[in-house]
A and B are shown apart, each in its own frame.
Chain A
């Protein structure tokens, strides 16, 4: 009951704060630019073979989807900070937590609200992007639902980390650190790709280790795989493993299980930190 009340409150906060408007503006700009870009690509490169067109559409779609996932990450990380740390800092949590509620219920409620918000954003904006590509380039990804679900899972993982951080540090710092770690994991993935290209196993391992520590990059790679044309890698060969905007493999069930466990562990840690915190 308290969990649902808090989830509804968090959703209402997301809807009424300026962050939603900022998210909407950024998304519209990105979708608008991509629509224009895809349209131009189709018009100016009319001479492309169908294979080349699919390749271009796949890569650019992944690029734009990365932009969307970044917006979702920024949005939820900067919502997760104020909703917990901000309320503790301002004193707004005092009156609420003096009610007959468990702090863990409050935390899970906020997490649920943020997760619904983040996943809703990914679903709506992602679907809009897929439709844009379909209309302008006549390209429809092989597994759109899986791709969007993995993007939503990526957002959820990051917001869970944001909540953990905001239970111990200040609101702004928690947002910055969460987004910083998200970026660092992505870069580590790219470094891994460079290592693979250079046949350097230890550099390649950097990407793999970072994908275990923070599953956002691993989920992102799974999502890319679901969006891109399956014939692409066959034509480009194995050198593409770890490419920042192409993925050679779909996500394994083991990795999904680890991600679920990771989210549960981080949320549990956040609960522990929040419960012990003096207000």
Chain B
């Protein structure tokens, strides 16, 4: 080929989409925020596969157990991740969980409301709390860290005070009998794929109880919520205009405002998102336990933020992913359950949690520098 035709060929190449192939797959992967959490999850599974492979951790029952714990954390971690991408924090997640719990239990037990009405009431309160958090942050311009820290105390205090005022105690039991025949409660309280598990049991593929029913009865509702919310959040972030606004609002508030992104509305909606996710978490747990506890959800906000950070969210906003947060939650859930199957004392879990987060932050910081590096 002559030099001239070569240069023309090169030129054509530049003008076509084939350029995309020049970027190595590794580089594309490195640019994804969820890389760290994905790698971390694989490492965690390899580790427990070696250490606890023959202990029943990965039996149907054991697997559903750690998936359930991961899923519960994941539900709030995904909402926290979306809010963090939008550039804000919500420290009131844990308190909102406790508050939502008694918003369901007290009306249902003490005021004689049907359970479905109590659940709707709890979600309405969540929207109000989220809106209040959001409007306060947007209007005052104060850091959301402080505003929601205040809300952490206010909500927990309200939960305790109201519960003791009405019931004279700090727990509200007796919900289990109300779940049957309720038109809404099943959404938060039904194990699914029971037939499959019965069949697996009858084929002797999974462990059975002494009465012949399988030990693992079905997929817990938290897992389906978790998967559903991960898909929904990823769809919103990657595929919608609103998703682009979330990245923009967190990446550069002023710039986004200047080009017409309704930053305030986006942030308020994300605060509503975390409060609603907390309420989903609370509803599932309250219906599962059959009781509400005023201290439920304590410190969950920090676990949710930790999972989001391990999942690649930057503390400064504008970067992160819902899938990453989902893997972050999976790591924490797997380790917190897996540790029971090893000889390691469970006291070490928190050490792991902290160390994992530290490594994630350092790693993410490095990745961000890579991504934004000038030519």
Task: Say if A and B assemble together.
Answer: no
